[in-house]
């Protein structure tokens, strides 16, 4: 199979509170080699290797003294260099201009140097030259519903970004607390799409915006299919977010952050529930990944190789990802610095490494061996 060619390796970018690590393995994914920390001492909120050119990648780095930077790699994550510019509302360095870069994502496949960034204070930005310069997307950043957005516990920020791989006019983002927004014209206009999502924390439960979304994913094979982990429940949409159906039944709670899909199967989705907003850790101290193979109609706990007692950890919104091999590999990192991997779609798990700094993000990529 082409995707399992031995000329490739699987690379995980593991972003932590004290720097960026990489874990590398051959396509069998039996043995892993850990490298790092890179960008040591910085909190790395978001990092990825670009599927358009996996030798290139980007990381959002934050330090209370040294500031906020975007870093780029051109050798598959083996070395990183800071870029001169960052996405920000104004040219100054005040908190009103930029407090944190929460998300970085590749743009359309046809535009290899285009990047998207989501920041706090909430804003969407685009770079068309590989992160060298950034421009704000005015139609979203000055959206008329902006006054309905409010800070959630983690801040007020754009944290999830997606581009339809088959039709790049369709763009999606999510912010806490503001909701899911959609553009069908390449970012010229934006509309909130939150119909059907429970929002008991809002005065008007039918409000079109103001929702607290924890994670949003688009399925690459069926891009009209979206999954959402919200503050209250897990949801699926089959019409580009126009309507949402709750699929929480069968899960031990309606709260959580982590969300992943099998890139080959639009009906396979993974979540890691947490107890509640008041106790943001695994339910009953059991580290369980729940899988559905029918778009959330039924759920199965996957526990083989995972601790099932006294494991009170958090897996954050960017903390779980899958690779594009067959069968798909699944990976997640915990607040305790433990990185778990499954090369069988979650059936069995192994510990790649433990006791890293708290893990904020895990991203998987297939990279040429010579990178």
Contact 268, 261 (CB under 8 A): yes
Contact 14, 356 (CB under 8 A): yes
Task: Indicate the pLDDT class of residue 2, thresholds 50, 70 and 90.
Answer: very low
Total of domains in the chain: 1
Q: In the 8-state DSSP scheme, what is residue 317?
A: T
Closest to 121 in 3D by CA, of 155, 71, 86: 155
Average pLDDT (309-336) is 96
Query: Residue 182 sits in a domain of what CATH number?
Result: 2.130.10.10
Please tell me the total number of residues recorded for the chain in this structure.
371
The pLDDT assigned to 5 comes to 54
Task: Tell me the per-residue pLDDT of 114-157, one tens digit each, with 9 for 90 and over.
Answer: 999 999 999 999 999 999 999 999 999 999 999 999 987 778 99
Asked if pLDDT for residue 371 goes beyond 90, the answer is no
| Other CB atoms within 10 A of residue 64 CB | 7
Contact 249, 235 (CB under 8 A): no
Distances (CA, A) of 202 to 5, 177, 179, 208, 278: 50, 10, 12, 11, 17
In the sheet that 57-63 helps form, which strands lie side by side, from edge to edge?
43-49, 57-63, 67-73, 81-82
Task: Tell me the per-residue pLDDT of 351-367, one tens digit each, with 9 for 90 and over.
Answer: 999 999 999 999 999 99
Tokens 């790049």 belong to 168
Domain holding 272, by residue range, is 2-368
Task: Tell me the per-residue pLDDT of 36-62, one tens digit each, with 9 for 90 and over.
Answer: 999 999 999 999 999 999 999 999 999
Return the C-alpha torsion angle 273, 361, 279, 275, nearest 10: 0
Task: Indicate the pLDDT class of residue 76, thresholds 50, 70 and 90.
Answer: very high
Q: 77-81, 91-95, 256-260, 283-287: lowest mean pLDDT where?
A: 91-95
CA contacts within 13 A on the Cβ side of 74: 6
Average pLDDT (187-194) is 97
Asked if pLDDT for residue 4 goes beyond 80, the answer is no
Asked if pLDDT for residue 3 goes beyond 50, the answer is no
The alpha carbon dihedral of 97, 277, 159, 329 has a sign of positive
The pLDDT assigned to 315 comes to 97
Tokens 């104004």 belong to 90
The pLDDT assigned to 370 comes to 77
Average pLDDT (232-238) is 97
Tokens 């407090």 belong to 99
Angle at 86 between CA 85 and CA 87, to 5 degrees: 130
Average pLDDT (278-300) is 96
The pLDDT assigned to 206 comes to 84
């Amino acid at each position: 199979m082409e995707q399992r060619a031995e000329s490739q390796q699987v690379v995980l970018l593991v972003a932590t509170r004290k720097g960026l690590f990489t874990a590398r393995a051959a396509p069998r994914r039996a043995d892993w080699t850990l490298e790092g920390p890179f960008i040591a001492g910085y909190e790395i909120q978001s990092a990825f290797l670009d599927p358009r050119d996996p030798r290139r990648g980007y990381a959002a780095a934050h330090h209370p003294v040294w500031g906020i930077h975007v870093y780029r790699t051109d050798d598959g994550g083996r070395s990183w260099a800071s870029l001169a510019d960052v996405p920000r509302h104004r040219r100054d360095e005040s908190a009103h201009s930029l407090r944190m870069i929460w998300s970085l994502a590749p743009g359309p496949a046809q535009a290899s140097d285009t990047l998207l960034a989501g920041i706090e204070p909430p804003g969407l930005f685009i770079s068309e030259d590989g992160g060298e310069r950034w421009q704000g997307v005015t139609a979203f950043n000055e959206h008329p519903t902006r006054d309905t957005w409010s800070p959630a516990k983690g801040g007020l920020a754009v944290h999830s970004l997606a581009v339809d791989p088959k039709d790049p006019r369709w763009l999606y983002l999510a912010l806490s607390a503001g909701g899911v927004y959609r553009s069908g014209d390449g970012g010229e206009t934006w509309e909130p799409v939150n119909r059907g999502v429970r929002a008991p924390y809002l005065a008007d439960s039918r409000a079109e915006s103001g929702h607290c979304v924890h994670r949003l994913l688009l399925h690459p094979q069926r891009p009209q299919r979206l999954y959402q982990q919200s503050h209250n429940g897990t949801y699926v949409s089959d019409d580009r977010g126009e309507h949402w159906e709750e699929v929480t039944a069968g899960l031990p709670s309606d709260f959580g952050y982590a969300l992943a899909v099998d890139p080959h199967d639009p009906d396979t989705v993974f979540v890691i529930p947490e107890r509640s907003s008041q106790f943001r850790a695994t339910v009953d101290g059991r580290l369980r990944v729940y899988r559905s193979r029918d778009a959330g109609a039924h759920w199965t706990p996957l526990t083989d190789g995972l601790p099932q007692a006294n494991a009170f950890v958090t897996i954050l919104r960017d903390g779980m990802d899958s690779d594009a091999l067959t069968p798909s590999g699944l990976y997640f990192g915990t607040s305790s610095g433990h990185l778990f991997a499954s090369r069988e779609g979650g059936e069995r798990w192994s510990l790649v490494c433990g006791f890293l700094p708290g893990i904020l993000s895990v991203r998987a990529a297939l990279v040429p061996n010579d990178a």
